[in-house]
Chain A
Amino acid sequence: MNAERVGSLFWLLFGAAAVYGSLDLGIGTMSAPGSGFLTCVAGSFVSLMALLLFVQSFKGDPAAQARVSDLWIGCNWWRAIAISVLIIVFILAFETLGFFLCSFILLVVIMRWLEGLSWKTSIFVPVIAIGCTYLLFKTILKISLPAGIFGF
């Protein structure tokens, strides 16, 4: 599928959704705008631009245009997904297990498992980085981050 077309179609729908949402809020009139006025205007504008781009994508040399799958040539896209999943797990866990502990685990996992660095680097660097940050926050800045059940 043509990448340009997919992209512009997405934003076309997004703009339409915004306009739809604005109806609930009340658009009002030009001289007495309601809560949804700007949303409606902006949403319509986005959809209009998206339509323009959609139409434009039919002109020009089809061979020169990228297809959606082309965007990921030579990319290990699963690594991006892996990082995203790891971050989600981190967010779910850190309030219970402690911010710094979870950060440490996150860093070690990324460095060792995802990036294939040596155990030495994967442990050493996070320890230093997290240790310093912990001290910084605890002593100088006195900002507290969730300590979790392990106490730090």
Chain B
Amino acid sequence: MDLADNLITGFSVAFQPHNLFFCFVGVLIGTLIGVLPGIGPVGAMSILLPITFGISPVTAIIMLSGIYYGAQYGGSTTSILVGIPGEAASVVTMLDGHQMALKGRAGPALGIAAFGSFIAGTLGIIGLMLLAPPLASIALKFGPPEYFALMIMGLVILTYLAQKSMAKSLMMAGVGVLAGVVGLDTMTGLPRFTFGSADLLDGIGIAPLAMGLFGVSEILLNVEKTIKQGVVVSQVKNLLPSRQDWKESFAPIMRGSFSGFLLGILPGGGAVLASFISYGTEKRLSKTPEQFGHGAIAGVAGPEAANNAAAQAAFIPLLTLGIPANAVMGILLGALMIHGITPGPLMIQKNPELFWGTVTSMYLGNAMLLVLNLPLIGLWVRLLRVRYAVLFPLILFIALIGAYVINGSEMDLYLMLFFGVIGYLMRKFDYEPAPLILAYVLSPILEDSLRQSLIISSGSMGIFVSRPIAAAFLFISAVLLISAVLPAIRKKRNALVASAEDNN
């Protein structure tokens, strides 16, 4: 069965009218859900799960997958437009994307996000088709020591995100790690820092944290300004990315797709890590790094490509090994099992039309999303021109709904407000929230993998260097760290030398 045959099988499945229909329904609902910050694809998929009982498994998977990557597209939209990242993967997009929107460049930002995601999705699907089984076995090689090393690298790359004071950003990363500790300790099963609250047993929650630190705090900051000085969205220039934008974005999209795809395969790793590694990389490689954080389009293109590629790659462990890489894949696994299909190495042989049908429908889904989202850009941009006084209460309303619907818990709303106030104060005092959030995401994996590794090695730290993949990541981290700190040290030394010469 060669590739062409498989593709033909796949497309013949994907193009069936009811599969097309459900694919469309999936991506549409996914986009809607994604635009609403907080609720996320897991919520939508679980609600629509009963619908899938009555339809064929292929159709069910097509629809559910559509919701998943549709939600990615939608989440970027809200991040860019109103600065509220609904989930961790959108945080990085927001850093420069929202700045672009504030400068009247929402159109190009949304456009490059849509195109970048489409390109990344397409490349990701190609990767899925060609490389699924070998990549899956590489993913298996990642055990606790490898994850720990990867997390360390992630933390080091976090420092690249710092726009102003490196020390402050590092400190915020430390706070983020602490925030990630709240909840049940995986290793002992006992609660930490939950202050007796049952709602905090699962931790603070990325959505209330991100929505509060970024969204609510921005509302509070803007509301303070007198109406006359309110947020001014300057004249919208173009709706689509310009040639220059494309020049600056093409390489980031390629790099982001590549790294995003690789990182997305790791169960538990995923889109977040991919997105900010891409951001850090682009900032480092850029000829104008000072632009990052103020509306550099490469800072949108790269991460967007990365998180979409990661979303596609997340299917690999599920479809080839039967292992769900994240909660979304868990629902897909459940859906497959209800239909009596057990995903795993045999699935591609036993149910080829399921695998190839799903993969090819992803092409269609990505195309549909592009077609859906591009015309909407004009609509979104017009929405931004609404007076802030009218806009922000609506944004607040959407944030409140989004935060509540995740768990149906009042606590999430309180948390969102609490972090909104914290974020407000932080920005006043010139501390950056982004490192905090990203460190928060890494924290549980960092801690668990450290402790698991040490159990396996019976306490020996050597396990991190004796295993090649882990050692490699640690080495890279060391190199990155030194190369980040070295220029600063050199500057200081030059300054000291210069002042010494002056004194002479």
Interface pair B414/A91, CB less than 8 Å apart: yes
Residues facing A in B396-434 (CB within 8 A) are 396-398, 400-401, 404-405, 410, 413-414, 417, 420-421, 424, 428-431
Could you list which residues of chain B lie within 8 angstroms of chain A, going by C-beta atoms? 29, 32-33, 43-44, 47, 165, 167-168, 170-171, 174-175, 177-178, 181, 185, 187-188, 190, 192-193, 219-221, 223-227, 229, 389-390, 393-394, 396-398, 400-401, 404-405, 410, 413-414, 417, 420-421, 424, 428-431, 443, 446-447, 450-451, 454, 459-461
Interface pair A38/B417, CB less than 8 Å apart: no
Interface pair B394/A50, CB less than 8 Å apart: no
Which 6 residue pairs across A and B have the least CB separation, nearest first?
A31-B459, A49-B171, A46-B174, A7-B429, A75-B224, A115-B389
Interface pair B390/A84, CB less than 8 Å apart: no
Fill in one digit per residue for A121-141: 1 if any B CB lies within 8 Å of its CB, else 0. Answer: 100011001100100110011
A64 within 8 A of B: no
CA distance A101 to B33 in the complex (A): 22
For A125, the chain B residues whose CB sits under 8 A away are 390, 394
Interface pair B424/A80, CB less than 8 Å apart: yes
CA distance A79 to B219 in the complex (A): 11
Contact among B32, B224, B397 with A77 in the assembled complex (CB-CB below 8 Å): B224
CA distance A106 to B414 in the complex (A): 16
**From B225, which residue of chain A is reached at the shortest CB distance?**
A75
Q: Main SS of the interface on chain A? A: helix
CA distance A11 to B44 in the complex (A): 39
CA distance A61 to B56 in the complex (A): 71
Count A interface residues, CB 8 Å: 67
Interface pair A33/B451, CB less than 8 Å apart: yes
Interface pair A71/B428, CB less than 8 Å apart: yes
For B224, the chain A residues whose CB sits under 8 A away are 72, 75-77, 79-80
Cross-chain pairs A/B with CB under 8 angstroms, 18 sampled: A3-B429, A33-B451, A33-B454, A35-B185, A37-B447, A39-B178, A45-B171, A50-B171, A52-B167, A53-B165, A53-B168, A72-B428, A76-B223, A99-B404, A106-B396, A121-B390, A129-B394, A140-B29
For B171, the chain A residues whose CB sits under 8 A away are 11, 45-46, 49-50, 53
Interface pair B226/A39, CB less than 8 Å apart: no
For B424, the chain A residues whose CB sits under 8 A away are 80
Contact among A31, A35, A91, A111 with B389 in the assembled complex (CB-CB below 8 Å): A111
Interface pair A11/B175, CB less than 8 Å apart: yes
Contact among B225, B410, B429, B450 with A38 in the assembled complex (CB-CB below 8 Å): B450
**From A26, which residue of chain B is reached at the shortest CB distance?**
B188
Contact among A52, A103, A126 with B400 in the assembled complex (CB-CB below 8 Å): A103
